[in-house]
Amino acid sequence: MDRYAKQRMRMVDAQIRSRGIKDICLLKLMEKIPRHLFVEEAMMDQAYNDNPLPIGERQTISQPYIVALMTEALALTGKEKVLEIGTGSGYQTAILAELADRVCSIERIASLAGMARKTLDYLNAFNVAIRVGDGTYGWKEEAPFDAILVTAGAPKVPPILVEQLGVGGRLVIPVGSRSTQTLLKVTRLSENIEDVKKEDLGGCRFVDLIGEHGWEN
């Protein structure tokens, strides 16, 4: 137990469970993972609030509910190899690390990747590999993935990411304009990368996915 344990329980009740997230493992995990360790010390008291928070470099740690919504959509069972694009604070990464077998995470800003690595090491998340670079190319050497999660807003679904999904794999990605996006779940149905099922998970607002298959810097 830490001094934020009560706030964390309240966060899960008021923001996550009440909005319809049902995955018991995920709810338990969000009651456990110390989200305050993923923000600057001056922000710790706000870490369990119902909104994103700045993490430096003009980036944000996502709102807890959005993290839960995206994670539930990936339908993880513990056996998966997951690619995450946009490590940021590493909070979402820590959740994936507990719910999947292995996580490969890419962050374009080296200082954020470094801080996330430290926090994840402190929490013994040793099944996470972090790479600094443009995640819109995916991580070819590690493909195929059972699930891919993009935590920054893209202009369109990069086909290269669908290519790196195994058949049956799920890609969750916010797609739209630079100001608002729709959270999309794309399921790969066969070897043909055109053969996908697309589901709309609702409106959202993320920072830009910047790179070759994203927005210009």
CB 203 within 8 A of CB 180: yes
- Rounded to a whole number of angstroms, the minimum distance from the CB of residue 155 to ligand SAH is 12
- Rounded to a whole number of angstroms, the minimum distance from the CB of residue 190 to ligand SAH is 27
CB 125 within 8 A of CB 145: no
Q: If we measure between CA atoms, which residue out of 184, 149, 146, 186 comes closest to residue 166?
A: 146
Rule CB under 6 A: say whether 89 interacts with ligand SAH.
yes
- The sheet with strand 145-150 has its strands ordered as 128-132, 102-107, 81-85, 145-150, 165-176, 181-188, 196-204
Which run of H or E residues covers position 90?
none
Which residues lie closer than 8 Å to 162 by C-beta, 6 or more apart?
Answer: 171, 186, 188, 193, 196
Convert residues 121-150 into a mask of x (bound to ligand SAH by CB under 6 A) and - (unbound). Answer: -------------xxx--------------
Convert residues 94-113 into a mask of x (bound to ligand SAH by CB under 6 A) and - (unbound). Answer: ------------xxxx--x-
Contact window for ligand SAH (CB under 6 A) among 11-19, 75-83, 84-92, 161-169: 84-92
- Nearest CB to ligand SAH, comparing residues 12 and 61: 61
- Rounded to a whole number of angstroms, the minimum distance from the CB of residue 17 to ligand SAH is 20
In the numeric block, the tokens 């018991």 are attached to 24
190 annotated active-site: no
Distance CA 101, CA 177 (A): 33
Of the residues 18, 62, 105, 190, which is catalytic? 62
Which run of H or E residues covers position 6?
helix 5-11
Distance CA 111, CA 158 (A): 25
Query: Site for ligand SAH (CB under 6 A): how many residues?
Result: 25
Give the residue, chosen from 74, 85, 103, 104, that forms a contact with ligand SAH under the rule CB under 6 A: 85
Which three-class secondary structure state does DSSP give residue 177? coil
- Rounded to a whole number of angstroms, the minimum distance from the CB of residue 84 to ligand SAH is 7
- Nearest CB to ligand SAH, comparing residues 155 and 189: 155
Contact window for ligand SAH (CB under 6 A) among 27-35, 155-163, 195-203, 207-215: 207-215
Task: Return residues touching ligand SAH (CB under 6 A).
Answer: 59-62, 85-86, 88-89, 91-92, 106-109, 112, 134-136, 151-152, 207, 209-211, 214
Task: List the catalytic residues.
Answer: 62
